Amino acid sequence: MMPQSAWLSTTVDLAEVEAIVRRALAEDIGSGDVTTDSTLPAEAQLAGRFLAKQPGVVAGLAVARLAFALIDERVQFSTRVTDGDRVEEGQVFATMSGPGRALLSAERVALNCLQRMSGIATLTRRFVEAVQGTRAVILDTRKTAPGLRALDKWAVRLGGGQNHRSGLYDMVLIKDDHIAAVGGITEAVRRVRAADAQEHAIEVEVRNLVELREALDVHVDRILLDNMSVDEMREAVRVAGGRTPLEASGNMTLENVAAVAATGVDFISVGALTHSAPALDISLKLCAPA
């Protein structure tokens, strides 16, 4: 059995984060910020502040800082909280000052990233709190915004969750379609072990207790219980007897996640963390420096 570190990502790919921010700035600014460059003198200075308009968990301060710095390194960015901290409605949690053109040209990218990441972190924290007192770990999925996976998964970690695989390349997840295509779980696992020279961790999706027993017999690293009822999951935990970590998946909500966690599963993956989290309401106000 592989250690958890083999299939739980905890690092931040800073190069990918910077590439995302650069792409976002290029998309927004293009050949130039016509409005700002036409109305604001090059030497003008501005100051601004990020204000929480609702309570939540802040995530993405480092990304917002980077957005301003990539436009002009002279921008001064100060934070009053740390990524992963809670903020309350009306709280000013970061300020910035410097060349006005840079602040205006980067503000939308900075705000978009901060709002999206904070929304994901806030929803994640709610799920994490809902399963407190159980062994269950909240995981994300690959249901991220195309091109933003590094930010989405970072936000999950800042909210207190953990990451599932980063993509199709860093872990094996044998799903029902793979199983149907080759004729069974045992054969699918055999083929992976024969072909995968890097010996990635293997997870198998099962839909019932018959498939669970077959997956247990081939000694994979984790088993995903797909859309099982709470009673079925409880029985799956009993059958597995701690031999293989179990992950519950499928239609997880804040209303049912505590009951799922109480079955004794090791992990609960929640697609909604990244595909349905509402952006946290944050405003950025700019003005002449005092």
Give the residue numbers marked as catalytic: 108, 143, 175, 205, 226
**Contacts of residue 252, Cβ cutoff 8 Å, sequence gap at least 6:** 127, 260, 268, 269, 270, 271, 272
Residues 61 and 111: their CA atoms lie apart, in Å, by 10
Q: Which two tokens stand for residue 141?
A: 């999925």
CB 47 within 8 A of CB 102: no
Q: Are 237 and 246 within 8 A, CB to CB? A: yes
Secondary structure element (H or E) that encloses residue 286, with its range: strand 282-287
Pair 225, 232: CB distance under 8 Å: yes
CA distance linking residue 290 with residue 282, whole number of Å: 22
The tokens of 217 are what?
Answer: 């017999």
Task: Measure the CA–CA gap between 58 and 93, rounded to whole angstroms.
Answer: 9
CA 210 to chain centre: 32
